[in-house]
Amino acid sequence: MNSKLVFFSNFLKKPKEVAAVTPSSKYVINKITKNIDFNKSKCIIEYGPGVGTITKEILKNLNQDAKLICFESNKKFCKFLNQDLEDPRLIIINDSAEKLNFYLEKLNINNIDYILSGIPFSLIKKEIKKEIIKKTRDNLRIGGKFIIYQQYNWHLKKYLDIYFKKISTKVELRNIPPTLLYICERT
C-alpha cells in the first residue's frame, strides 16, 4: 500500500494520534537533516516515525555502524515500516517514547546523538510531556540534539525551557500543516 494512503487512512481513524493529514514534506526533512552530523552519529532515535518519510532519509545518510531506533505506538505504522524498510541498522519499537529508558537499557545503549520527534506533544498530558522531554534530555550525550517538528504551535517551548538551555526555532511554511521545528541542544 502507498505510504501516503496508509498515513491518511490512519489519520482518519486516529486523528489525535496521527495529528497530521500528510507525512512531512521534503522541506521539513531538509531542515531536520541539516541539523544532524551523520559522520559523528552512532545512535539516532526517532519518536513517531509514522510511515518512515524522515526515517528513510536518515537511513540514506546514516553510517553503516550506526543505529536508528524508532518508537511508534501505532501498530499499523509499525507493520508498514517493518515491511517497507529492511535495514540492519533500524530497530522499530511498537511502544511509546515514555518507555525510552526501558528499551535503552534492554538494548544496552547510551549516549544518544540525536532524538527526533514528530509526536503531537499538544495532545499529550502535561506530566507525560514533561517526562518524555526530561528522559530525552537525560539520554542525550553532551552536545546531542533533540529536534522536534510539529504543527505551527508555540506551546511546547515552556516545557523545553525547563530542560534545555540552548534552543533555536525554525519555521517551515511549505508543509501541510506548516511546521515549527525546535532544535534543543544538551549543554
DSSP per-residue string spanning 21-71: SSPPPHHHHHHHHTT--GGG-SEEEEE--TTTHHHHHHHHHS-TT-EEEEE
Q: What CATH code is carried by the domain that includes residue 39? A: 3.40.50.150
Whether the CB-CB separation of 92 and 77 falls below 8 Å is answered with no
Is residue 124 a part of any domain in this protein?
yes
Cell of 39: 559522520
Is residue 16 a part of any domain in this protein?
no
Residue-wise pLDDT tens for the chain (187 aa)?
A: 554 444 444 444 544 444 454 678 999 999 999 999 999 999 999 999 999 999 999 999 999 999 999 999 999 999 999 999 999 999 999 999 999 999 999 999 988 999 999 998 988 899 999 999 999 999 999 999 999 998 767 789 999 999 999 999 999 999 888 899 999 999 9
Is residue 15 a part of any domain in this protein?
no
Q: What are phi and psi of 62, to 5 degrees?
A: -75, 140
Cell of 57: 532519509
Report pLDDT for 152: 64
User: Is 163 strand, coil or helix?
Assistant: helix
Q: Cα–Cα–Cα angle for 50, 52, 58, nearest 5°?
A: 130
Residue with cell 533533540: 146
Counting the structural domains of the chain, the total is 1
Is residue 157 a part of any domain in this protein?
yes
Report pLDDT for 2: 52
In Å, how far are 63, 117, 127, 138, 162 from 130, measured between CA atoms? 31, 14, 5, 12, 9
User: Whole domain around residue 163: which residue ranges?
Assistant: 24-185
Torsion of CA 50, 1, 33, 44, to 10 degrees: 50
Report pLDDT for 10: 41
Is residue 63 a part of any domain in this protein?
yes
Cα 108 to the center of its chain, rounded Å = 20
Distance separating alpha carbons of residues 142 and 100, to the nearest angstrom: 18
User: Is 170 strand, coil or helix?
Assistant: strand
Is residue 17 a part of any domain in this protein?
no
Distance separating alpha carbons of residues 134 and 18, to the nearest angstrom: 23
Is residue 10 a part of any domain in this protein?
no
Is residue 142 a part of any domain in this protein?
yes
Distance separating alpha carbons of residues 44 and 113, to the nearest angstrom: 6
